[in-house]
Amino acid sequence: MKRCILFVCALLVSQWTMSQVLVEAESFAEKGGWVTDHQAFEKIHSSYLMAHGLGRPVKDAVTSVSFAEGGKYHLYVSTYNWTAPWYKGKGPGAFQVLVNGRLLQAELGVTGNQWEWQYAGEVTIGKGAAQIALHDLTGFNGRVDALYFTKVKEAPIADYPTFALERLRLLGYKQPKQVSGADLVVIGGGIAGCATALTAARYGLSVVLVDNLPWLGGNHALGVRANGLMFENLYPELGNITCQILNAKVSDKNNPEAYFVRENRTGYIRSYQPIPNLRDYMGPVSTLMQQADDNVSMVERRNLTRSEQNQNNNEYRRKQQAAIRKALLEEAGVAIYQHVHAYKVVTEEGQIKSVTGKHLQSGEEFQFEGKLFVDCTGDGVIGYLAGAEYRIGRESKAYAQEPSAPEQEDQKKMGMSMHWYAYPRENPGTFPTVEELPWAMPCTKESASKVSQWSWEWETGLEVDNATQAELARDNYFRAVFGNWAYLKNNEERFNGYRLDYMQYIGMKRESRRIMGDLVLTENDIVNRVKYPDASFTTTWTMDLHYATAKQVKYFKGWEWLTYCTNGREVWIDPYHVPYRCLYAKDIANLFIGGRCMSVTHQALGTVRVQATLGMAGEVIGMAASICAKRGVLPRDVYQTYLKDLKKLMRAGAPLQ
C-alpha cells in the first residue's frame, strides 16, 4: 500500500512538472538583435535578454521548445518596465511574444515598477517542438528574463530569490556541479584577476578562474585603457606578468621611453596596443558590432570616418587581446569558467569553504571549493557574501584624518561609464524629440552635452550602490544618452546628418565596495610617503576621483551623468609602494582581496584603481598564494612569518612561462 501511494505521488509530480515549462530567455538559440545582460542578477538571480537597438526595433530572438504534453497553456513573462524609477507613464521597452508564428497581442514590459511576471495570454500548443520568438517593438531596451508556460492560470512566485530554486527544478538541475581540489580560486577575470591566476599557476598552483563576462579582461575587455606606470617599482620585476596579460612587451616595461607619460605622471605603456594581423581575428564579436554593421550601407562603409575606423579597430583589438590572455592562462593550466556569476559563499570558522556561481547562458550552477580564494570582482562580492567588513562611499575626515575627506561620510563615489558613438551617415534617419521621450533626461540648450561620442566624463551611478544597483545606474546612463541625443539630433543643425549607432550596455565601473584588510591605505600614507615593512607593488597615478559637475547638480540632481576629475597638482603623487596587508581580508582568513576592492579608503582608491597597477597587485597576491601553498599557511601568516619569502619572490619576478 505504501509503495502504491509513493507511485501515485510520483506520477502526480511528474504530470504537474509536464504541465509547466520554463524557458530562460538568455538560452534562446538565436538571439537576433537581443543582448544578454546580467546586471539585475542580485534582484532576479538570473541574466536576461534586452532589446538594445538605440531606438530601432531589433531582430527577433527565436528558439525551439519541447512540450511533453499538448494543450492550452497560459504564458507569463518575467520582465521589467525599466523607466519606472523616473517616469510613471507607459514605459518604452515594449515587446510581444510569438508562439509558432502566432503573435500574442499583449504588449509587455511597459507597466509595473519592478521585475515581475506579466501575463502574455493563452495559447494552444501541440505535443513536441514549438517555436517561440521575442518580438521587439521599439528598440528602447525591453527586457525578458524568462517565459513560463503553465496549464493553471497562476503566475510563479513573485519573490525572485525564492523562485530561484524553482528555476533550477524546472531546468532539470538538481545540484551544483562540484569543482574541487583547487589551491586557489580567483573570482573576477579582469586584469587583476588574470594576473593573479597566471602568477599563481606559474608557481605550480592548481588555479580556477571564474568570470561573468564572455571576454577575459574586465573593464579592459570592455574598453578601458590599461593605465599605470610600471617602471618606477620598488621591485622592478613586478609587472612582467601584467605585460603578458596586456599583450605588451615585457622588454619595454622598465623603459620610460616606451610609455606615454603626462606631466602628472599618469600614463600607459604604448606597446600593449598593437596586435599583428588584427583582421585575421576569428573569435567572438559583440552583438553591438554586428548590429552596427547591419546599420551601415556599403557606401557608408567605404567612407568611414577616422573616428569610426578607430572605434571598430579598438573593438576587435580588445576581443583579440582577450583571446590571447585566455590562451596564455590555459597554457599555464588555469581552469577557466566564463559566463559564471558568483552569488553565494559558504564559510566555516572564519574561512570560505565554497563559492557558488550560475552560468549566465545555461542556468547551470557550479560550486567551487578550494584552499584559498581571491576576490577580484571589483564589487567585493565574495568578501561581502562571506561577511567581511567593507566600506562604500566616502569616509569622514574623522575616520583617518585625511585632508581631502568630507566632514561627514556619504555615499558619493565614482560611477560607471559606457562607450557610445554617433557618426555622419548617408541616410541618418530620424530620432525622437525630447518631448517624445518623456522618460529620458530632459536635455535643453543649457544642459545638453554637445558631443557626438562618449568620453570619460560620461559617468553615472555617483550615489548608487553599484554592486546591488548596477542595472539602475546603467539605465540612468541610457536615459542620459537618449535624452541628450534627442536634443542634439533635433535642435543642433551640425548633428542632423548623424545617426546614433553604437552604445555599450555593460557598465565599466570605477568604484564599489572595498573590503577591509589588516591595513587600510589612506591619503595620508600616500602623501606622507609612509614606509611600511611589507611595501609591495607601486602606484603612480594621481589621486584621481570623479564627482558630478555643478551644472549637472543644478539640472539633474541625484541622477547626474557628467563629472570632473580631481587631478590638479594638489593630488599629484610620487610613486608609492603599497603594503601587502591591503591585499587580504582581516576577518576572512583565507581570502585575498585584489582589484579595486582592496583595502583602501575612497581617497586612496583614486590612485591604486588603474589596471596596470592592479595587475601588479595581482602578481603579489599570486606570489603570496604560492607561499601559502608551499608552507601550508594563510595570507596573514605571509606577513607575520614569511615576509622575507615574499620579498624574495618580488625581487625575482614571477616565471614568464
Q: Is 558 left (phi over 0), alpha (psi -120 to 50) or beta?
A: left
Q: Which of 127, 159, 191 is the last residue of a domain?
A: 159
- pTM for the structure as a whole: 0.94
pLDDT higher than threshold 90 for residue 233: yes
Look at residue 310 and tell me whether its pLDDT is greater than 80. Answer: no
Percent of the chain with pLDDT over 70: 93
CA distances from 476 to 288, 560, 562, 632 (A): 19, 9, 12, 48
DSSP string, 317-378: HHHHHHHHHHHHHHHTT-EEE-SEEEEEEEEETTEEEEEEEEETTT--EEEEEEEEEEE-SS
| Residue that has been written with the C-alpha cell 556541479 in this structure | 177
Top-confidence residue, 620 or 8: 620
The average pLDDT across 409-431 equals: 94
What does the CA dihedral 117, 122, 124, 129 come to, rounded to 10 degrees? -20
Hunting for cell 514549438 — which residue is that? 130
Q: Are residues 423 and 491 in the same domain?
A: yes
Contacts of 607 (CB under 8 A, 6+ apart): 526, 539, 540, 541, 542, 543, 544, 573, 576, 613
pLDDT tens track for 393-418: 999 999 999 999 999 999 999 999 99
Please report whether residue 59 resides in a domain: yes
Interatomic CA distance for residues 405 and 545, integer angstroms: 12
One domain for residues 372 and 425: no
- Answer yes or no: is pLDDT of 551 > 80: yes
In a domain, 10, yes or no: no
Considering the domain boundaries, does residue 320 fall inside one? no
Q: Which of 100, 129, 159 is the last residue of a domain?
A: 159
Residue 353 has pLDDT above 50, yes or no: yes
Question: Into how many domains does the chain fold?
Answer: 3
- Does residue 95 share a domain with residue 55? yes
Q: Are 402 and 222 in contact (CB under 8 A)?
A: no
For residue 279, give the C-alpha cell. 583582421
Q: Kindly state whether residue 303 falls inside one of the protein's structural domains.
A: no
Task: Indicate whether 105 and 251 sit together in one domain.
Answer: no
Q: Which residue has the higher pLDDT, 575 or 17?
A: 575
Same domain as 26, residue 110: yes
Mean pLDDT of 161-186: 95
Instruction: Give the residue from 85, 81, 89, 92 showing the smallest Cα distance to 136.
Output: 92
**What is the band of 567 on the pLDDT scale with cuts at 50, 70, 90?**
confident
Same domain, 596 and 453: no
What CATH number should be reported for the domain holding residue 55?
Answer: 2.60.120.260
At residue 126, does pLDDT exceed 80? yes
Q: Which of 101, 127, 159 is the last residue of a domain?
A: 159
In a domain, 361, yes or no: yes
Single-letter code of the amino acid located at 623: M
Measured distance between the N- and C-terminal CA atoms of the chain, rounded to whole angstroms: 67
pLDDT of residue 568: 79
Closest CA to 345 of 374, 378, 384, 377: 384
What value, to the nearest 5°, has the Cα angle with vertex 407 and ends 401 and 411? Answer: 105
Whether 621 maps to a domain, the answer reads yes
CA-based nearest residue to 374, from 578, 614, 175, 540: 614
In this structure, the answer to whether residues 86 and 222 fall within a common structural domain is no
Do 341 and 387 lie in one domain? The reply is: yes
Let me know whether 215 and 361 are in one domain: yes
In this structure, the strands spanning 563-565 and 546-548 are antiparallel
Q: Does the residue 439 lie in any domain? A: yes
Q: Can you give the residue range of the structural domain that contains 471? A: 416-509
Structural domain contains residue 297 = no
Are residue 456 and residue 472 in the same domain, yes or no?
A: yes
- If asked whether residues 73 and 110 sit together in one domain, one would say yes
Are 626 and 205 contacting, i.e. CB atoms less than 8 angstroms apart? yes
Same domain, 62 and 121: yes
Q: The domain that contains 378 carries what CATH number?
A: 3.50.50.60
